[in-house]
A = this chain, B = another copy of it.
Amino acid sequence: MARTVAVEQPTIGAYLIKRLQDFGVRHVFGIPGDYVLGFYEQLAKSPIHIIGTVQEDGAGFAADAYARVNGIGAVCVTYCVGGLSLANPIAGAYAEKSPVVVISGAPGMRERVNDPMLHHKVKSFSTQREIFERITAAAIVIDDAEAAFGRIDDALRVCWQQKRPVYIELPRDMVDARPRHAHVSQTVEVPTDADALAEALAEAVGLLNKAKRPVILADVEVHRYGLGIELTRLVESTGIPIAVTILGKSVISELHPNYLGVYEGAMGRTDVREAVEGSDCLLMLGTFLTDVNLGVFTAKLDRSLAIEATSEKVQVSRHRYDGIAFGDFLRALANARIRKRALPKARARRAKVAKPGDVPMRATRLFELLNDRLVDGMAVVCDVGLCLFGAIDLVIHRKTEFLAPAYYTSMGFAVPGALGVGCANKDLRPVVLVGDGAFQMTGMELSSIVRQRQDPIVLVLNNRGYTTERFIKDGRFNDILDWRYELLPQILGTGWGAAVSTEAEFAAAWDRARAHRGSFSIINIRLEQMDHCPALQRLGEQMAANLGPSGKKV
């Protein structure tokens, strides 16, 4: 073997920190613990900011939201008590394709000899890795200094290419270890099959040019692969109208004249449904055929009239092309000669929203009033339930300004999500839409928001329980305690809060909140318990039907 030159290699911890920065990580969310303190110490000395949270699940949601805005995110916790507390948010990041790097401290390799009962251990030292294998795209343990750098590269590349979380377990005695041999970081990109691309493109262009009513349906992968500009270019060069899914919402400015609205099968607006389902050539870009995106499978999409391009394939009618990168296809389409259609007639301006009155607030009116008030520079971070379905028709002004866990639908995403958004882009002011049930789960991450001096506006849609479930099966188990959310600034030592019951009170509180900068604002919006928006009612009915006959037979 050739002798290597005796250049000292970086420590494994230092290498990991450098590679995280190479991929664009500027903030790491998490909570320290003894098995990860050595790496925290290295992080603290690096340019990366450590963002402490009150609970690990909050760190996971924050890193997910950060990744959606920043392109990649990271979370760093201790072994098992920390890592296993991330299982739910990381599963959500996997399900919704959000690239989050999970770094977990762990007992040192030398401590593991003879399998002692170290604190935080569950069954075996591999328990945590085995669990993360099931909710990430790659799970590695840095148990060999020589192989460490290559494995870190591999894991980060999988995260970046697949836009899904990966798991890196760093035993505490490996943090300061150095490999003896040099390592060359490599970025192995799988190139697109040019012939396949040419053929697929020609076919797609032919179909689009022939079509009378082509429509684009854009979904989450356009966000994840950072292709919003290309998408807008495609829309403007062809004049084809565009709808989005709820998971893909805000992938194009919703003020764009070609923008139709959110498509969600029978749950969405009728005019959007008719345009999408009536198309004779539906161009589906980055789509994710989930039950929520498909309106609990009420969508009626004719695949024989569709072109679908995702990170996994390009499919035209019933045949598929492999080996084509999603970005290459979308860019090629945007540059292709496609017949330009007339821009749609300027749509009728939305009917003027009635002024807020001294009348009890209703959910439908809340979203109308909010629609009138959202401005550029605000990012809507939305939780699950009433707020998600009500938000379908919010008009988002720029791209990447609407975030929601719209497929995995874990409650508790939004408040820690706002923390992540605030770190990813200081110029975005999050507006958090969150139900009271979800707020109770993770809302105390306001504490972490205070520590970062961020100033989101948090709207708690308070209906004293799990109202989405009341529409499926009601019982006292759907009730929760009625907190005075507006008093939380007293607990946290800063912030501004108010409780409102009427439209006029809401309008006044919104103005106060907008003017309040430097710390969070929280508005406790008291709604009737069974108040809802039309989409929620339709969803509840659909889900109750899916429960099947409460019957005698299986």
Contact = CB atoms under 8 A, between A and B. Distances in A.
A290 B117 contact: yes
A172 B88 contact: no
A129 B477 CA distance: 25
A491 B491 contact: yes
B80 A91 contact: yes
Given A172-B547, A490-B484, A37 B472 contact: yes
Given A55-B441, A87-B131, A469-B33, A481 B551 contact: no
Contact residue range for chain A?
Answer: 35 or more
Interface in A75-103: 80-81, 84-85, 87-88, 91-92, 94-95
Given A40-B477, A554-B145, A290 B119 contact: yes
Nearest to A442: B55
Interface in A286-327: 288-292, 297
A131 B83 CA distance: 13
B88 A84 contact: yes
Given A119-B292, A122-B94, A488-B491, A469 B37 contact: yes
Interface stretch (A257-265, A266-274, A402-410, A526-534): A402-410
Contacts of A483: 447, 491-493
Given A88-B80, A119-B291, A493-B482, A552 B178 contact: yes
Interface string A539-554: 0000100111011111
A32 interface: yes
Interface in A479-503: 479-485, 487-488, 490-493
A551 B32 contact: no
A135 interface: yes
B412 A34 contact: no
A57 interface: yes
Given A40-B475, A408-B81, A481-B492, A54 B288 contact: no
Most buried by B among A111, A288, A411, A554: A554
A84 B408 CA distance: 12
A505 interface: no
Interface in A140-194: 145, 172-174, 176-178
A444 B444 contact: yes
Nearest to A108: B548
Nearest to A446: B481
A109 interface: yes
A475 B81 contact: no
Given A131-B131, A134-B127, A441-B55, A81 B88 contact: yes
B554 A32 contact: no
A147 B127 CA distance: 29
A253 to B, nearest CB: 28
A483 B493 CA distance: 7
Contact of A475 (B31, B41, B110): B41
A440 interface: yes
Contact of A548 (B110, B118, B292): B110
B481 A81 contact: no
Contacts of A177: 553-554
A535 interface: no
A119 B408 CA distance: 5
A158 to B, nearest CB: 14
A291 B441 contact: no
A205 interface: no
Nearest to A411: B81
A450 interface: yes
Contacts of A108: 548
Contacts of A543: 34
Contacts of A111: 546
Interface of A: 31-34, 37-38, 40-41, 43-44, 50, 52, 54-57, 80-81, 84-85, 87-88, 91-92, 94-95, 108-111, 116-123, 127, 130-131, 134-135, 145, 172-174, 176-178, 288-292, 297, 407-412, 440-442, 444, 447-448, 450-451, 466, 468-469, 472-473, 475-485, 487-488, 490-493, 543, 546-548, 550-554
Given A85-B87, A109-B554, A483-B492, 20 more contacts: A50-B477, A56-B88, A57-B85, A84-B87, A87-B88, A95-B121, A117-B288, A119-B291, A119-B292, A119-B409, A120-B408, A120-B409, A122-B408, A131-B134, A145-B554, A174-B554, A176-B550, A447-B483, A481-B492, A483-B491
